[in-house]
Amino acid sequence: MKTKLKINGMSCNHCVSRVEETVKALPGVKKVNVHLKKEIGTVTLDETVIQPLTICQAINDLGYQAEVI
């Protein structure tokens, strides 16, 4: 399953790397792509293992604001 996230608060490529690395480390996440200027993240996941809201919470814990769109 693919899901799109709106991610606010990123200001540089380091922020993008932090988000991508954190999300990739979550069980059930297969692929992550974050676009800095569009403030969008696309995540391919196994919904039997992880839910989009769990991914949002992991991003929020980094200090950004994420929501499913």
- pLDDT (tens digit per residue) in 10-30: 999 999 999 999 999 999 999
How far apart, in whole angstroms, are the C-alpha atoms of residue 27 and residue 22? Answer: 11
Three-state DSSP string of the chain:
CEEEEEEECCCCHHHHHHHHHHHHCCCCEEEEEEECCCCEEEEEECCCCCCHHHHHHHHHHCCCEEEEC
* Cβ–Cβ < 8 Å for 12, 6: no
* pTM assigned to the model: 0.94
Average per-residue pLDDT for the chain: 97
Domains and CATH numbers, the chain: 2-68 (3.30.70.100)
